Amino acid sequence: MTNCFHTPLDRLITGADKALRVIAGVATASRPTPGQFAPDADLSEQERRHAAGLMRVNHVGEVCAQALYNSQARFARTAQIRQQFEHSSREEEDHLAWTAQRLGELGSHTSVLNPLFYAGSYALGTVAALLGDAKSLGFVVETERQVEAHLQSHLEKLPPQDVKSRAIVDQMRLDEIAHGAAAQALGAAEMPAPVKAVMTVMGSVMTNTAYYV
């Protein structure tokens, strides 16, 4: 049975299950982690902590992405838009699993604030979806644009020898570009400048917090 035949109750139950799994740190990748065969980097303690901080930020970003896509899929007006959100969410779950695995390899942990980040992002996604599919898609385009820029900055900040982390971040960046392009092709509406500015500020607060906790 395809998703277009699912009832609102089905989607509610599925969404609740996804939320619990994300918050509990349960994520399964459908693709091998990038850089899996790369040698372990020789990192100093400072470099290891810095790489872990950046990867924790990226993991939080994926927690937020799951919340956004889950809420937007639940309240999408058409099956086509819902299916695109669900497809993007599945690829973002790969990112969630990859970053969690890398944090473990770096001897670090995911953010203790993940439940709060998930709840806030789910609320934002719900508001965007209730404004209609065009605006919801526009929210995706702007989100992915800002995430792409953020990931590009991490490629510049990560230790050059940390090939494993860099491979993960680069593949995430490519996927985010594709998700934004897909949303644009489905008829995304341009987000007003004030909304973009608020999104930028909120993203900055999230990244500055998640780096440490």
Is residue 1 packed enough to be buried (19+ CB in 10 Å), middle (13-18) or exposed (0-12)? exposed
**Is the Cβ–Cβ distance between 166 and 35 less than 8 Å?**
yes
Tell me if 92 is assigned to a ligand binding site.
yes
Instruction: State the angle between helix axes of 133-157 and 114-130 in degrees (0 to 180), rounded to the nearest 10.
Output: 140
Determine phi and psi for 209, rounding to 5 degrees.
-80, -50
Amino acid symbol at 212: Y
Tell me if 47 is assigned to a ligand binding site.
no
For 33-64, the DSSP string reads: PTTTTSPPP---HHHHHHHHHHHHHHHHHHHH
**Is the Cβ–Cβ distance between 210 and 60 less than 8 Å?**
yes
Tell me if 179 is assigned to a ligand binding site.
yes
Q: For residues 184 and 67, what is the distance between their CA atoms, to the nearest angstrom? A: 20
Closest C-alpha to 199, from 143, 130, 138, 121: 143
Binding-site residue set for Fe cation: 62, 92, 95, 144, 176, 179
Binding-site residue set: 62, 92, 95, 144, 176, 179
